[in-house]
Amino acid sequence: MYGRLLNMRTINVVILAASLLLTRAMAGPTAPATVRGVQIELRLNKVAYTVGEPVEITLTLSNPAMSVAKFQFPTGQMYDFIVSRDGQFVWQWSLGRAFTQAFTALILAPREAKVFTERWDQRDARGRTVPPGEYEIVAVFPAGDVEVTVPARPETPRVRFAIRGSR
């Protein structure tokens, strides 16, 4: 009986691993960065969207180390997203939002990951629907003594995506 149970668990793990690999392969564009050993990844769920379709944004912080990683933020804001088109500002997630005006800590245990997800409704900073075209998004990780923009370096591919046609 124990042998069958062990085989079933092995099959479940293989299926889970295969589905995670497929999900990652089918997901949208990504941009990685590393801060103090913590891996940061900005990801979109698709490469192209139709006009008005929400853009799903994911920021993942992973601590692969065997020690705790701690970040201190000057406010309750732990991240931000900025969308641009042709180098011109279009939208920023934090605009119009209120954040706790107190220091906030983010602590990642060894091998722990923290995932932040947001949606952009394809409206610019003034509330107008943006036109079809090529866009770019970056994530900002404003931890007290270090502010990181993902992607961090010019040679790192930026997370680009398209808005096409009408619904």
Chain centroid to CA 126: 24
100 vs 19, which has greater pLDDT? 100
84 in any annotated domain: yes
Which tokens is 33 given? 């960065």
Which residue in 76, 147, 69, 150 sits closest to 112, CA to CA? 69
Give residue 36's pLDDT. Answer: 82
Instruction: For the sheet with 38-44, list strands across it.
Output: 30-35, 38-44, 55-62, 113-120
Integer Cα distance of 11 and 67 in angstroms: 32
Average pLDDT estimate for 109-128: 96
Q: Is residue 35 part of a domain?
A: yes
- Comparing 53 with 6, which gets the higher pLDDT? 53
> Stretch 76-83: mean pLDDT, rounded?
91
What is the predicted pLDDT for the residue at 5? 39
In a domain, 153, yes or no: yes
Q: Which residue has the higher pLDDT, 131 or 159?
A: 131
Domain membership of residue 9 (yes or no) is no
Domain that holds residue 157: 28-164
Please indicate, yes or no, if residue 14 is contained in any of the structural domains.
no
CATH of the domain at 152: 2.60.40.2360
The chain-wide mean pLDDT, for the chain, equals: 80
User: What is the pTM (predicted TM-score) of this model?
Assistant: 0.76
Please give the pLDDT value at position 92.
Answer: 94
